Structure 1
Amino acid sequence: MNNSSQSLSVLEKIGYSLGDLAANLIFQTLVTFLAFFYTDVFRIPAGTAASIIFAVGLLGAFVFTPAMGLIADRTHTRWGKFRPWVLWTAVPFGALSLLAFSTPTLGEQGKVTYALATYSLLVAVYVANNLPYSALSGVLTGNMAERNSLSSYRFVAVMIAQFIIQVLLLPLVLILGDGDKARGFHNTMTVFAIVGTVFFLITFFTTRERVVPSQQQASSIREDLLDLARNRPWQIMLAVTVLVFVNLALKGGMYIYYFKYYLSDTQLSAFLDHLGFNGFIAGLNQLLGGIGLASFRWPKDAPTSAFSLFNALGILCMILGIGFSKPLADRFGKRNVFSGALLASTLFLLAFYFYPPDAVSLVMVSYIFHGFFYGITIPLLWAMIADVADYSEWKNRRRATAMIFSAMLCGLKVGLSVGGALVAGILAMHGYRADAAAQSADAIDGIRLAVSVLCAIPFLAAVALMFLYEIDKPLERKIEQDLDSRRLEAALPR
């Protein structure tokens, strides 16, 4: 391989990160609102929605993702291995995201069939786009410090997408649907599809693959799989990825129910008034009306309004945490910073179990601290996965970047499938009734347990696993130096 210890320009980092912003406009919508969309907008029973989310997630994890990993590592074009897939999937990704959040007039069985078909196709195209995109981060540069920086840029973009989805999606749905949620989702996803397609094209045109396997390297599928089986850091990171995304899907999908049915409406309204938030929205609408524009249709009910503010505060603090990620990792190593910050964030999740319905301020403060510490971990997870690809090359003298990332994305899909299905499954098990004026005590207890104790368990297990992860700061340096030496030697004329 050629020497890849090159710095990345700010333009390339921004261009690459726009691909994650595009993908996460859809991904964050799936994580946060798919169960809600199926149950409360498309009117699919909660148990059936859970089955669809779980089954398609497993299909993506165990069929689409491994197949795409093998295909991407064996792709050879003048643009590289991974960049062309970002180009080829840009338009299909946008079109299918629109179809998946459409609500055609169908009978109950027709709705189930439509949801299953569109979600399956969307997951297939998502894999064909996002796996090569993720693997691209491992071949833009071989410099581990530059990867830390690239991950920080990337996940600021992710947080921007998350802010748009978790804070502004419901207002956008109301604005673009004129109060009709079904039409609002369709129109909002149309905007996301267009913006996402443009951003994917920018990613393609602003990036370049630098870590290129030598012409002499050749490996069979069997060798790639054996390399994975012998790669202990990969095994640990696979398990950690599953656990992290179980948490993200479970808490992300359950928070809206927590605000709608557990926290006190009266206290939520009082909190918004005391904070001056309602006055801010009223002033914004007065300003917009004064210049002849339509009003900003923020959700009028206190739970939805407070939920959006809750997400906004958390995301802003995650972005702040991301800013601390690179300097901490450069000093103490990714492993130590990741595990310490993840543990701290978990403690603030557990606190949710002990808060009564009127403790709105404590809920907000806990989520702020949870967001900050979790934000530190966000870039490190994917930077460590790129390090695992380097570790495999260092140990086996063969590089299979997409195969490594496909395994991790397999874990991501499993985690999302389990976590997403748990949202609908817990609701069904505890007797949740969509759009009921009030839920049963059993349903409310299930919601409260899900956002605290059940969400904390995967994070605590991930922290425990990091004690077995061997790529610490000294080994990071050794791997980077050894690989650079090998690539320089390979580049010398024979």
Structure 2
Amino acid sequence: MKTSDNDLSIKEKIAYGCGDLSSNLLWGLTSTYLMYYYTDIYRLPVASVAWILLIARVFDALCDPLIGIFMDRKGGLIVPRLLTYLSIPFGVAGFLCFLPLPLPGNGKVIWAGATYILFGAVYSCINTPYGAMATMISQTSKGRIDLNSFRMIGCQVGKFCVAFLTIPAVEWLGGEETLSQRQFGFVAFVFLLCCAGSILWFVVVKTCILRFPPQAATYSFRYIMKSLIKNRNWHLCNALVFVQFICLSAFSGFIFYYAKCNLGRSESVASLTLTIGVLSGLLGAMLCPFFTKRLGLFRTGLALSVLQGIAYILIFLSKSSLVEFAGSLIVLTFAQGVLSPLYYVLLAKAVDYSHADDHVDLAGISYALNTLVTKIAGGITGFILSLFLSFGHYDANQSSPTGDVALWVLAGFVWLPLACVAIQFILFLLYSSTDDGPRIKSAAGSSDIRAYK
């Protein structure tokens, strides 16, 4: 086993990014299309969809901490085994989410809720150890920024595949004339994604090298939680992730409704604008190291938060103009793409603080709870957005939605995330003003303070 991470190869960085590529082929599909699938394809009541998205997060509140504690108890070498054992169940659970069983009465609601909860549990058990891998592969700030940049590139590639292929593939595989054809198209397309997603996890396991796997923790749960609770940076990082994922969830969850209700466009146009946005986000993730090298971590966060806010205002001002909307969307998703890798670097930094202060390795529980934060943000956002549709009396069969629906969709797509961007800016100010320098090594082996400032 190698003891230095100064020679991280492009191959290993790409392989690490394959993990988030797999996650976003399936989890990204649920984030973008699951609400639309429930309301327009599986034809569930909007109110039921809201509760499904929220209740699933209650189960995650139990699952995510348990997998984190399990990882810490077993040590870092359990990670490759978890990824191997769960790769196929991950694909199966994702497939069941989009399997439209023709059940009577409330059977469809129960089936949808059960399969979504199952998929969320499997996702937690595979994505939490994957997220913690970066701290085990590299201990340098440069190495971690590079790894998480490739992770976000994989994330954006997965989102691109979902955005660009879903609607055309569903129509090609099943047809678009009847509801049953569209349902079959979804099932066939999701099956292909699930196969690809399961295979990609084996690429991660085969290629990535755990150079610094932590030993099995022997501390009590109370001592571990005490160390986390007093870790101010960990709290700020989770708060930043929470508001950012509300923005991401509002964008992916409402883009089709915004195109239909506010722009008066078809699903194909919504898919095209989503694809353009994903490509812009991919460019942003690729340029993240460029910005952090010149501006530093926190100034990059502050500048891109402001850019996000400007983009949301431009979207509001674009009204029904597709060209102006697309331009504003490019600015928004570029900013989100640059910001995405930063949160994982901040989380790795928070883990290092706990290790330096209390000599406790908390990678497992830290990443597990961070994953829980992202899913709670997505669940709450989905619940709020579903309520907004209900308040506007959204009807999937209505070709020309009423003005009330358009106002509620605007509130969910623009005003809710804009408020979160304002909070995000304040959190970056708090983080940078209270930071006393990281405690991880630079590539040269010395304390790398400037890399974060």
- Counterpart mapping for 1:203-352 below 5 A: 203-213=204-214, 218-265=218-265, 303-352=266-315
Q: Which residue matches 2:139?
A: 142
Shift of 1:354: 2.6
Deviates more, 1:123-132 or 1:398-407: 398-407
Q: Which amino acid aligns with 1:344?
A: L
Shift of 1:485: 7.9
SS at match of 2:361: coil
Q: Which residue matches 2:405?
A: 443
SS at match of 1:43: coil
Shift of 1:425: 1.3
Would you say the 8 A contact 2:255–2:274 is kept in 1? no
Q: Which amino acid aligns with 2:14?
A: I
Shift of 1:378: 1.3
Q: Which residue matches 2:9?
A: 9
Shift of 1:133: 0.6
Partner Cα separation in structure 2 for residue 379 and residue 213 of structure 1: 23
Given the two structures, how large is their TM-score scaled by the length of structure 1?
0.85
Partner Cα separation in structure 1 for residue 374 and residue 199 of structure 2: 25
Q: Which amino acid aligns with 2:211?
A: R
Partner Cα separation in structure 1 for residue 304 and residue 3 of structure 2: 33
Among 117, 134, 140, the alignment partner of 2:114 is 117
Q: Which amino acid aligns with 2:285?
A: I
Among 393, 396, 413, the alignment partner of 2:355 is 393
- Counterpart mapping for 1:97-176 below 5 A: 97-176=94-173
Is 1:190–2:191 an aligned residue pair? yes
Partner Cα separation in structure 2 for residue 315 and residue 87 of structure 1: 29
Partner Cα separation in structure 1 for residue 445 and residue 432 of structure 2: 21
- What is the alpha-carbon root mean square deviation over aligned residues? 2.1
Q: Which residue matches 2:319?
A: 356
Partner Cα separation in structure 1 for residue 436 and residue 9 of structure 2: 27
Would you say the 8 A contact 1:344–1:373 is kept in 2? yes
* Distance verdict in 2 for CA 1:336–1:243, change over 3 Å: same
Shift of 1:385: 1.1
Shift of 1:212: 2.8
Would you say the 8 A contact 1:50–1:421 is kept in 2? yes
Would you say the 8 A contact 2:73–2:218 is kept in 1? no
Q: Which residue matches 1:366?
A: 328
* Distance verdict in 2 for CA 1:373–1:163, change over 3 Å: same
Shift of 1:71: 0.7
Is 1:380–2:314 an aligned residue pair? no
Partner Cα separation in structure 2 for residue 187 and residue 421 of structure 1: 28
Partner Cα separation in structure 2 for residue 260 and residue 183 of structure 1: 23
Q: Which residue matches 2:38?
A: 38
Identity fraction in percent = 24
Q: Which amino acid aligns with 2:303?
A: G
The unaligned stretches of length 5 or more in structure 2 are 448-453
The unaligned stretches of length 5 or more in structure 1 are 266-302, 487-494
Partner Cα separation in structure 2 for residue 195 and residue 214 of structure 1: 33
Shift of 1:353: 2.1
Deviations 1:25-54 (A, max 9, x none): 011111111111111111110000110011
Given the two structures, how large is their TM-score scaled by the length of structure 2?
0.93
Shift of 1:7: 3.1
Shift of 1:400: 1.1
* Distance verdict in 2 for CA 1:443–1:30, change over 3 Å: same
Q: Which residue matches 2:451?
A: none
Partner Cα separation in structure 2 for residue 385 and residue 328 of structure 1: 19
Shift of 1:443: 1.0
Would you say the 8 A contact 1:342–1:459 is kept in 2? yes
Deviations 1:357-389 (A, max 9, x none): 2x1111011111112222111111112111111
Partner Cα separation in structure 1 for residue 357 and residue 317 of structure 2: 48
Deviations 1:133-164 (A, max 9, x none): 11111211101101111111111111111011
Would you say the 8 A contact 2:141–2:442 is kept in 1? no
Partner Cα separation in structure 2 for residue 24 and residue 475 of structure 1: 33
Partner Cα separation in structure 1 for residue 201 and residue 3 of structure 2: 27
SS at match of 2:394: coil
Q: Which amino acid aligns with 1:480?
A: K
SS at match of 1:469: helix
Q: Which of 1 and 2 has greater Rg?
A: 1
Among 93, 97, 101, the alignment partner of 1:96 is 93
